[in-house]
Amino acid sequence: MKKDIGGHRPVMTTLFEKILSGDIPSHPVASGEGWYAFLDIFPRREGHTLVIPHRGVQRLADLTPTEQSQLMAGVTYVQKVLGQHFDTTDFTVCVHDGPLAGQEVPHVHVHVLPRTENDGGSTLMAMWPRTMSSEPDHGALASLSANLQGVK
């Protein structure tokens, strides 16, 4: 355990922080300023890589703009590495931002999966059932759009 910034309550050290510290082994792919990339131990396909920021925060919004930039630089570097190895320029890049989004380790991480012809993978749309209507509800979309643009 470690103490939070205010030093008041203990905070659990995440699996990824233990990987970063070397307490738990990993299978590295690459690393750079502010990020580390390693192979997922339960890959959805060969080459499934996780890219994590050095600082252990749960959500993307908790990263500083510099950390966000470093993380995305890591993602694109990993795409280059995986692309050369798997001879592809196509990737599924996914972030589960919080537990309700499917995040299992409370430390921001980006999944990078190389995609190749007939790899058995699917699209984001396959993750949810089909909508009830075959026609878009432009009225509801316009209303939501207006409400979202008002959020500061």
Residue by residue, pLDDT tens for the chain (152 residues) are 444 444 444 456 999 999 999 999 999 999 999 999 999 998 998 999 999 999 999 999 999 999 999 999 999 999 999 999 999 999 999 999 999 999 999 999 999 999 999 988 888 667 666 666 678 788 887 888 888 787 77
- Which residue range(s) make up the domain with 34? 2-124
Is 66 a domain residue? yes
Is 150 a domain residue? no
- Report phi then psi at 42, rounded to 5: -125, 70
Instruction: Write down the pLDDT at residue 133.
Output: 67
Does the annotation count 8 as an active-site position? Answer: no
Instruction: Write down the pLDDT at residue 102.
Output: 92
Is 145 a domain residue? no
User: One of 48, 109, 111, 138 is an active-site residue; which one?
Assistant: 109
Instruction: Write down the pLDDT at residue 130.
Output: 64
Is 146 a domain residue? no
Is 135 a domain residue? no
Is 60 a domain residue? yes
CATH code for the domain in which residue 64 is found: 3.30.428.10
Element (H, E) at 16: helix 15-21
Instruction: Write down the pLDDT at residue 150.
Output: 77
DSSP 8-state assignment for residue 14: P
Residues 83/106, Cβ–Cβ less than 8 Å: no
Is 132 a domain residue? no
Instruction: Write down the pLDDT at residue 5.
Output: 46
45 burial level (CB within 10 Å; 0-12, 13-18, 19+)? middle
Is 52 a domain residue? yes
Query: 93 pairs with which residues across the strands?
Result: 112
Count of the separate structural domains present in the chain:
1
Strand ranges inside 100-144, DSSP E: 110-115
34 Ramachandran zone, left/alpha/beta (phi>0; psi -120 to 50) = left
Q: CA-CA distance, 56 to 103, in Å (whole number)?
A: 14
In order of 92, 100, 136, 141, 145, the CA distances from 130 in angstroms are: 20, 20, 12, 17, 22
